[in-house]
Amino acid sequence: MLGRTTAARKWAILFVLAVLSSASTPARNEKSGAWQQFEYVARNIFVRCTLAGPAGARVEADFIIDTGLNRTTINIPFAQKLGLLGNAKTRAHSPTGTKLEPVMDLPSLRVGNKEKTHLQVAVDDLSRFSAEYRHNVDGFVGTDFLAHLILSLDLQNQLFSLDPNAKLDGAVLLDLNATPFSGLLLVPVTLPNRLTMLVIIDTGADHPTDFMFYDDALSGIKFHGVSVSESGDQTTAPEPVVHGTIESIRLGDVEIPQPSVTRLPTSNENPYGTRYRPGLLTCQFFEHYYAQIDFPLHRLRLNASPAK
């Protein structure tokens, strides 16, 4: 046990080292593109956005970055606060299917250092997410905003960037071609049963596992169940899902041993036209890597992280 004098000397040394370190090491924002801080709550990437309504007034809001949603969505009360108008409807596409929602013109949305004007956004009741996450949810940033951008993620340090010049730390592990579908990006994985299928890159999937697959795709695979929860959205009744692990999954040239997986009930709906309904690459997956989701070039890049 350290005595009081020794402990004080130790803290003094640590303080000097910290000062020297901060003086010699450039800040992350200076080093590699315009990195921004985000809040990581319940496996969701919360960012502060600035929105402008028809009257021009600018308001800050809490949005979740959701690469599994092809249309930016705003909470009904917040849309009313902004004074958004319109009575058109559109089909918003997400991993759970399609949904007809009211759509309105949003004069301006700024996320980080990027701004888009006159975005056609869906309007929905998002109160259930605020209650579940115990955090204000004013909306979701969808891939209509991200379509021409590169999203870089450093979940360990809770940093994101939309700057094309942002550089990832760590050694390169993967640079994989993705398949675009209705604004979403899907990448191939090979399961232990030798089935190669697609998974949606979905930072809005907040389950406590790295992957989610429908039951039929996991046929013949030994599944080690750990826990059970419910999954559902506003349009579907909650269904029991099982969380567990399976043998190795291969993502491009990267082998992932004993990944955590959520097993979903087999769905009869598959708007993707594939033999098996695509699974999901969840937000938790990105905790293990430095990552870039390149929407213009349809690429997923992963670099080694100290957490892996």
C-alpha 229/C-alpha 109 separation (Å) is: 35
Digit-coded pLDDT (tens) for 270-301: 889 899 999 999 999 999 999 999 999 999 99
Structure tokens at 252: 């491009």
Q: Is 161 exposed, middle or buried (0-12, 13-18, 19+ CB in 10 A)?
A: buried
Q: Which of 98, 42, 38, 40 is nearest to 68 (CA)?
A: 98
Predicted confidence band of residue 229 (pLDDT cuts 50, 70, 90): confident
Tally of residues, the chain: 308
| pLDDT score of 130 more than 90 | yes
Q: Which of 36-50, 83-97, 102-116, 201-215 is least confident?
A: 83-97
Domains and CATH numbers, the chain: 35-153 (2.40.70.10), 169-304 (2.40.70.10)
Angle, vertex CA 291, rays to CA 178 and CA 261, nearest 5: 75
| pLDDT score of 30 more than 60 | no
